[in-house]
Amino acid sequence: METWNEINERHRRERLNLVAQFSKQTTQTEAAKKLDMSLQALNNFVHRNNIHWSIIKQGIRNEKT
User: Which pLDDT tens digits describe the chain residue by residue (65 residues)?
Assistant: 999 999 999 999 999 999 999 999 999 999 999 999 999 999 999 999 999 998 766 666 666 65
- Per-residue pLDDT at 2: 94
Q: What share of the chain is helix, strand, coil (3-state, %, to 5)?
A: 60, 0, 40
- Per-residue pLDDT at 55: 74
DSSP 49: T
Rounded CA-CA distance 56/24 in Å is 9
